[in-house]
Structure 1
C-alpha cells in the first residue's frame, strides 16, 4: 500500500458518507468504518471534519475540470467516466441541495464549462446569434444539475439501483437524444416565442 492510498480511501469513503448522511450527519467513526481504517488514522490525515470536506471539495473540483478539459468528444472519457461520476454525483447533489458556498462555486464552474462548449463549436454547433447566451447557459447548467439532485428518483423510475452501469448507458443515450433532436415542433415553437414576446412587452391579457 502506498503512502497516498489510505488518504484516498478515506477521501472516497467521506464522499460516500457525506452524500448519504449529509455533512452534519456523517461522522469520523462512520467514515473510518467505510474506509476500513481506524478513526485515529482518519484524524491523522484530516484533523477535522471540515478539513476532510475541503479535501472532498478539491477532488470534485479537479474531477469536474478534468471532464470539462477533455470534452465530450473524447470517446475514452465517455467509456470510463462511470467510476468517477458514480462517486462524485451523489456528493454534488447533497452539496447543491444544501445551498452552500461550495454549491455556488460548483454551479459557476459547471456553467463556465457549458458556456465554452456551447460557444466554441466543441459540440459541432454554435448558439445562434441573437440568443441570450447567459440565460441559455444558466438554464442548461441547472437542468444538468437536476440530474444529480434527482439522482435517486431517476434510477428508481428506470427500475435500477443507483449507479447501475446499464442504467447509466440508458440515461446517457436519453440525454444525447434530447440534445440532438427537437422535442417541440416548429409551429409550437413559433407560438411560444410569440407569447413570450407579448408577455415581455406587457401585452398579456392579465396585465
Structure 2
C-alpha cells in the first residue's frame, strides 16, 4: 500500500510534468528536469511512472479526469468557477502543446475529449440546456476544436488581445467569456448564412 507521502509525491511529479511539458513539450523535457521541478529524485519519478512515456500518459489521464469531472453546478457558483478556471491553467498549457505535437497520444487525447463532450452535449439536449443537433458527432468535434483553438493559436491570439500570457486568469476570463457569449447568444441576427449553406447542400444532393 502506498503511503500518503507517496501519493503526494506522485501528484507533485505529475503537476511538475504538466508545467514543463506545457512549456517545452515532452521531447524537450528530461526525467531529471521533472524530478528537479518536483523536488524529488529521478528514481522516484521512474518508481511512480516507469518512464517518461508513462508520465506523459499520466498527464493525459489527468487532463481527461479534469474534463470528465467538471461539475455543471459550478457555473452557478462564482467562487467555484473562478477556482476551476485558475486550477485548469496548467491543463490548458499542456493541451496547447500536446495537440500540436502530432503524436498518437495527442490524437487519442483529442478523440477522448470529443467523446466526453458528445456525451455531455447529448445529456444537455435531454435536459433542455443544449440545443438539439442534426449532426451530434460533428457538433461535438467542432465544439472541442473551437474551444481549443485559442490554445493552439496562443501567440497570435495573445497578440490580437494585447496580453502577455493567454493562460493568465484575466486573459482567460476575457476570451472564454466571449466564446460562451457566442455559443449562448449566437453571432448572426438572422438565418441568411444558414439558409445559404443549406441551399448549397440541397443543390449538390439534387445532382
Partner residue, 1:188: 193
Any idea what SS the aligned residue of 2:99 has?
Answer: helix
- Identify if the C-alpha distance between structure 1 residues 41 and 188 changes in structure 2 by more than 3 Å, giving closer, same or farther: closer
Aligned length: 198
Q: Do 2:93 and 2:167's aligned partners in 1 also have CA atoms closer than 8 Å?
A: no
- Identify if the C-alpha distance between structure 1 residues 117 and 58 changes in structure 2 by more than 3 Å, giving closer, same or farther: closer
Partner residue, 1:38: 41
CA distance in 1, matches of 2:49, 2:7: 13
Q: How does 1:3-14 map to 2 (within 5 A)?
A: 3-14=6-17
Q: What residue ranges of structure 1 are gaps of 5+ in the alignment? A: 203-207
CA distance in 2, matches of 1:47, 1:188: 53
Q: How does 1:114-153 map to 2 (within 5 A)?
A: 114-120=117-123, 121=125, 122=127, 124-128=129-133, 131-153=134-156
Q: Do 1:90 and 1:149's aligned partners in 2 also have CA atoms closer than 8 Å?
A: no
- Identify if the C-alpha distance between structure 1 residues 178 and 133 changes in structure 2 by more than 3 Å, giving closer, same or farther: same
CA distance in 1, matches of 2:202, 2:194: 12
Partner residue, 1:158: 161
Any idea what SS the aligned residue of 2:187 has?
Answer: coil
Q: What residue ranges of structure 2 are gaps of 5+ in the alignment? A: none
| Structure 1 position 174, deviation (Å) | 0.3
- Identify if the C-alpha distance between structure 1 residues 152 and 34 changes in structure 2 by more than 3 Å, giving closer, same or farther: farther
Relative to structure 2, which stretch is displaced further, 119-128 or 173-182?
119-128
Q: Do 1:111 and 1:137's aligned partners in 2 also have CA atoms closer than 8 Å?
A: yes
In the TM superposition, structure 1's runs of 4+ consecutive aligned residues that sit over 6 Å from their partners are none
Q: Do 2:60 and 2:109's aligned partners in 1 also have CA atoms closer than 8 Å?
A: no
- Identify if the C-alpha distance between structure 1 residues 48 and 137 changes in structure 2 by more than 3 Å, giving closer, same or farther: closer
Q: Deviations over 1:120-146 (max 9, x none)?
A: 335613315xx2222222222222222
Q: What TM-score, normalized to structure 2?
A: 0.81
Partner residue, 1:168: 172
CA distance in 1, matches of 2:166, 2:22: 13
Any idea what SS the aligned residue of 2:150 has?
Answer: helix
Q: Deviations over 1:14-65 (max 9, x none)?
A: 1111122222221122212322333344334334212222221222221121
- Identify if the C-alpha distance between structure 1 residues 40 and 176 changes in structure 2 by more than 3 Å, giving closer, same or farther: same
Partner residue, 2:108: 105
| Structure 1 position 86, deviation (Å) | 0.6
Partner residue, 2:56: 53
